[in-house]
Amino acid sequence: MEAQLSLAQLGKGHVTAPAIYLVETGRTRPSMPTLEHIARRTGKPVEFFLADPDGGTDETQSALVELELLVAGGRSREALTLGQKLLDLGSSAHRLGRIRFLLAHANLQSGQFDAAEKLLVEARAHFEAVNDDLMLAECIGAQASLANVTHSTTALGLAEEALALCRTLKPVPTPIEFRLLGILATALVGNREWDRAVAGYKEAIAAAGGLVDLPRVAEMYGRLSHAYREAGQVEAANRYGVRSMALFEVVSDRRSLAGSESNLGLIYMTKGEPEAAREHIERAKALSEDATAASGSSHVLLSLSELSLQEGNPQQAMEFARQAFETADLTGDRANAAEAHVRMSLAAEKLGDDDMVDREFERAIKGLEDLGLSERLLHYHGTYAEMLERRGDLNKAYAHMKKAVMAGRPGVLQRDDPEERTGTA
């Protein structure tokens, strides 16, 4: 009526007037494509027509819990399959935002950043439309995390926005606040604001508090569930009730805490304080090993490889890098897999194995080209050029310096030699 359309006009090109009538009177449930058609014709967002999230459990609830468990466990390939299946079914419109959010995380874990970015934009629009600030804070945090990975300048602003929104929630969800503090600190590292980054990681670790105590975490989620139920926020209460029972979030938090400890160790390395760095990275390793999921531990192993190299132990650095690659490959983390190849190459240089240096850098650069991470490509080409120069291979070093410039400024140096375009190493 608002759009001044008859039933036939509303369904034109997609469904019949009688079918629209059955939808309108509640006698049938529309498919997702039909709902999207109605939204387009009436000029409303899809979220305007969503079912009441405080209603009973629909048929996708158990599958959605399974999807959350797969994502939390780092089983990205299975999560991608299930998430896409849920999207294709479109049988529970009011859960569409969470499905896209979780599917975005699975894409992030697999290094499919363009797909993750698109899904997060769609999920954010959903949560904004239905006024779900809890999931909106998590979604903006995921956008900030993606921006950190791709070295986007939007990372810090997104992280600050997510954290501010999280802290307006009553009660403040400590696990989410903890993760957002870690994401914010990582963004500060990207901006080379070391002192603020150190303070951020310390605040994140302090916020974790009892999160490493599994029974206390389960109790915390149970209390959060009760608090949200008392506040009338049934969907949020249900989410935390599921998490309390499954304890999957605990695994994720221990992994995130390991990441914060590892990142803090890397900062101390940068500041030239190896003893402090070793303390935090060893703590990260213990936390990572104690978590039941492998995802996340590759980051810690890379930190240990870097620290071992700084301490003059290239053989140990090589072993940690190999373990990091195996873990990253197992979980589909292509960005860390590429980084592991670089660590192996750096260790190989110290061990005098030039063939391995070339082989591992070629693999690393190919991996980053496939992911489209131009900022990291710039750094990798530059690092490799320096190594080649130290070796005395000036022609090859020059070629990679040109590739570094091209990675940082696409379109520049278009007239490079054909021989330099045939390979990366």
Instruction: List, for residues 317-359, the tens digit of each pLDDT value.
Output: 999 999 889 888 877 778 888 889 999 999 999 999 999 999 9
Is residue 253 pLDDT above 90, yes or no?
A: no
- End-to-end Cα distance, the chain: 65
Note whether 401 and 385 are within 8 A (CB).
yes
pLDDT at position 348: 93
Note whether 175 and 249 are within 8 A (CB).
yes
Q: Is the pTM of this model over 0.75?
A: no
Note whether 303 and 278 are within 8 A (CB).
no
Is residue 205 pLDDT above 90, yes or no?
A: no
Residues 200-213 have a mean pLDDT of 67
pLDDT in tens, 33-66: 888 888 888 877 666 676 544 444 455 667 777 8
| 422: confidence class by pLDDT, cuts 50, 70, 90 | very low
**355 HSE (CA, 13 A, CB side):** 0
pLDDT at position 413: 37
pLDDT at position 137: 94
Rounded to 10°, the helix 61-72/96-109 angle is: 20
pLDDT at position 60: 62
pLDDT at position 219: 53
Q: How many percent of the chain have pLDDT more than 70?
A: 73
pLDDT at position 190: 79
Q: How many percent of the chain have pLDDT more than 90?
A: 17
pLDDT in tens, 261-283: 777 777 777 767 788 788 888 87
Of 39-53, 213-227, 300-314, 393-407, the one with minimum mean pLDDT is 213-227
Q: What is the distance between the alpha carbons of residues 137 and 165, in angstroms, rounded to a whole number?
A: 6
Q: What is the distance between the alpha carbons of residues 184 and 143, in angstroms, rounded to a whole number?
A: 12
48 vs 145 pLDDT, higher one:
145
Residue type, 160: E
pLDDT at position 256: 63
The sign one gets for the Cα dihedral 22, 28, 33, 38 is positive
121 vs 291 pLDDT, higher one:
121
pLDDT in tens, 162-191: 999 999 988 788 778 888 988 898 888 878
38 vs 237 pLDDT, higher one:
38
